[in-house]
Structure 1
Amino acid sequence: MVAVGTTDDGPAAGLSLLSPEEEALIEGAAEGRQRKFRAARGCARRALVRLGVPPVPVLRGRHGEPRWPAGIVGSLTHCPGYQAAAVARAGEVAALGVDAEPNRPMRRAGMLELVTVAEERARLRELARLRDDVSWDRLLFSAKESAYKAWYPLTGRRPGPAGIVIEVGIAGRFEARMEGTGTALEGWWLARGEFLLTGAMLRAAAPNKRRTA
């Protein structure tokens, strides 16, 4: 897997690399939206090159998800001041999602109760006692976003927040249980300055080994 992130949304982030098809996707959009789109696509372009894949347009699917080249899975994210892309070969990773959020508590009243279950809220209280430099509620939200971004392109299903149950570890890992499926995604997280970064993936099933006589 290859991940590329940047806090730059200027020319160094890849403004000049968009294809005409990609430019058409942001025609008429606000300037700020165009900068974020270009920067995220620039990250995607560099990530693909590092993976050994020639640059290609990264267009949108039916519900706005990025469309990757055949044999590639990936994810894009951006929040104010940061954008990133992660890609992997489908033979190694079946599903991949990433998300970036500001390292600040969620402010909307009732939001935490809306997007979590009781066991998640209990775990957040434990984590807050262990480490106070991480906005754990926002991290949990980000982990759910990463899991959703991995799950939807793989299955075409759109689980609600309570359909993804996150068990966050203190050392930069989490598990995302996709309720009702028996499937769990591997997750990782990072608190870097003013940003929280999360990623979730499902490894590709190993091919069956040929039996020998």
Structure 2
Amino acid sequence: MIEELLPATAASAETFGDPAGARLFPEEEAEVAHAVDKRRREFTGGRWCAHRALRELGVPVTPIRRGTRGAPQWPDGVVGAITHCAGYRGAAVARTGELSSVGIDAEPSSPLPDGVLEVVSLAAERAHLRRLAAEEPQLNWDRLLFSAKESIYKAWYPLTAEWLGFEDAELHFSPGAFTAKLAKTAHLPDRELDTFTGRWIVRDGLVLTAVTVS
């Protein structure tokens, strides 16, 4: 599913369970040597997807270690993101000559726990979600907002190495897409960037979102 949200220049892979026979590089194995089983399975499935996506991109597969704030450390000349939730693991990558950054996120298509929406959203966004829910009540718009903000952060951090809080992005949704006005600016070599755009899909009990910066 994730490929539906990405441009043709990106490569991706996903799995809807723990892939049989998935193996980690020793350097990756060390990252989860003392992790609980759930975390180990998530990490292994995510790296399995990342390795497959790199092969699809035509890039030699090397260990993908965790960097600052847990961001995956991709091979030189590659940008990407990894996500996982119950029943899903996915990864997306692209060459730096094609995209500047990629962010993806997967969530279960269920309401957020009580009190979480107020923490991750702005008042204007909550009013926006109420209007959307009145039109399409079958969608869990609060979970979609959360996922979109996770994708935004994953695309933002590699560009800036700076924290971006939930309150620093104001989202507006349209069918299959969203726009985020940022309270901060990413200073790129060729431009100043304070707006991100992304795409979303809800299917088979999952919410998937993706942000790419060209």
TM-score scaled by structure 1? Answer: 0.89
Shift of 1:148: 0.4
Paired position in structure 2 for 1:167: 172
Structure 2: distance between partners of 1:56 and 1:64? 17
Cα distance in 2 for partners of 1:42, 1:160 equals 29
Kindly indicate whether residue 46 of structure 2 is the aligned counterpart of residue 40 of structure 1. yes
| Corresponding position of 1:9 | 18
Aligned ranges 1:17-166 → 2 under 5 Å: 18-109=24-115, 111-166=116-171
Distance 1:189 1:5 in 2: 16
2:189 is matched with which residue? none
Q: Are residues 1:177 and 2:188 paired?
A: no
Looking at structure 2, the residues matched to 163 and 61 of structure 1 have their Cα atoms a distance apart, in angstroms, of 23
Runs (4+) off by over 6 Å: none
The alpha carbon displacement at 1:54 in A equals: 1.5
Number of residue-to-residue matches in the alignment: 198
Q: CA deviation at 1:93?
A: 1.0
Q: Is the 8 A contact 1:10 1:35 kept in 2?
A: no
The letter of the residue matching 1:150 is A
Per-residue deviation, residues 139-172 of structure 1 (Å, max 9, x unmatched)? 0010000000110111011111110111111x21
Provide, for residues 109-143 of structure 1, a one-character-per-residue CA deviation record: whole Å limited to 9, x for no partner: 2x212211122112111211222222100100100
Which deviations, in whole Å up to 9, do the C-alpha atoms of 1:14-72 show, x marking residues without a partner?
612x1110111110211221111111000001111111112111111122110001111
Amino acid of the residue matched to residue 43 of structure 2? Answer: F
> Does residue 199 of structure 1 match 2:210?
yes
Q: Shift in Å at residue 100 of structure 1?
A: 0.6
Q: CA RMSD in A?
A: 1.3
Output the CA distance in 2 between the equivalents of 1:200 and 1:145: 10
SS at match of 2:43: helix
Q: Partners of 1:7 and 1:26 in 2: how far apart?
A: 21
Unmatched segments (≥5 aa) in structure 2: 1-9, 186-192
Once residues 156 and 42 of structure 1 are traced to their aligned partners in structure 2, the CA distance between those partners, rounded to angstroms, is 26
How far apart, CA to CA, are the structure 1 residues paired with 2:208 and 2:82?
12
Distance in structure 2 (CA, Å) of the matches to 1:39 and 1:100: 13
Q: Normalised by the size of structure 2, how large is the TM-score?
A: 0.88
Displacement, 1:73?
Answer: 0.5
Name the larger-Rg structure: 1
Code of the aligned partner of 1:199: A
Q: Name the CA distance, whole Å, in 2 between partners of 1:113 and 1:23.
A: 37
Say which is worse superposed, 194-203 or 129-138, in terms of deviation. Answer: 129-138
Which amino acid is the alignment partner of residue 206 of structure 2?
A: F
Amino acid aligned to 1:5: E
